[in-house]
Structure 1
Amino acid sequence: MATKNVTDASFQADVLDSDKPVLVDFWADWCGPCKMIAPALEEISEELSDQITIAKMDIMENPDVPGQMGVQSIPFMVLFKDGKPVSQKLGAAPKSQLKQWIEGEL
């Protein structure tokens, strides 16, 4: 399963009410580092699909949730478990580091 697009409207159902952990990648089309990590997140999403959902939220199209979460710089990733943010990572990183961080939180 590839990454899932999440919107302000679907955030409650897709992220907070999810029965498994969800990593939300806050991004924008104009963000170079966001585009740089996108393929790595797609691969991790497929490799760990039974353990975690990886979701992407375009902050330009969906200002409400990023505003509530205080997102000021992107890429900004937040890992939610049982509807609560448990870990976050700011900035781009190689796939190996991203995967290590995610697996360490599961």
Structure 2
Amino acid sequence: MLEVDKNSFEEEVLQAEKPVMVDFWGESCTVCLELMPGVEELAEKYSNEMKFCKLNIKGNRRLAMSQQVMGLPSMVFYVDGEKVEHLSGDDLTIEEIEEEIKKHI
């Protein structure tokens, strides 16, 4: 998974050639940390069809807010530079994330 921040977000996410999933996470978000190994497995599994990025909101809050990310964890999907889906919440599962990936590839 590619680590992005406010300096690389536009180039890596909004100008990507294929669909992108961005994992917005924070160091104090236990659900984010629990999901991360599974998200990284999905990134490996679907790396040919989709680009996977993660963005630590620390130092990137303004960017997260501009993307309407108000809670963590948040998995945001982009196609052709447009935000098309936003999954969020403490009850988010790897299965739900994988289902959403399949919709966009």
- Counterpart for residue 33 of structure 2: 35
Tell me how far apart the structure 1 counterparts of residues 29 and 5 of structure 2 sit (CA, whole Å): 18
TM-score by length of 1: 0.91
1-structure distance, mates of 2:88, 2:6: 20
From 7, 26, 35, the equivalent of 2:24 is 26
Cα distance per residue 1:22-64 (max 9 Å; x no partner)? 1011110000000011011100000000011111111112122
Secondary structure of 1:85 counterpart: strand
State the distance in 1 between where 2:71 and 2:62 align: 15
* SS in structure 2 at match of 1:46: helix
- 1:82 to 2:80 alignment: yes
Which sections of structure 2, spanning at least 5 residues, go unmatched? none
RMSD: 1.2
Distance 1:86 1:71 in 2: 13
Percent identity over the alignment? 30
Which aligned runs of 4 or more in structure 1 are off by greater than 6 angstroms? none
The amino acid that maps onto 1:35 is L
Which of the residues 5, 9, 12 maps onto 1:11? 9
**1:45-84 map, 5 Å:** 45-84=43-82
Instruction: Tell me which amino acid in the other structure corresponds to 1:83.
Output: G
Distance in 2 of aligned mates of 1:100 and 1:68: 25
Structure 2 contact 19–104 (Cα < 8 Å) conserved: no
Pairs aligned (count): 104
Runs of 5+ consecutive residues of structure 1 not aligned to the other structure: none
Structure 1 residue 82 displacement after superposition: 0.3
Deviation at residue 83 of structure 1 after TM alignment: 0.3
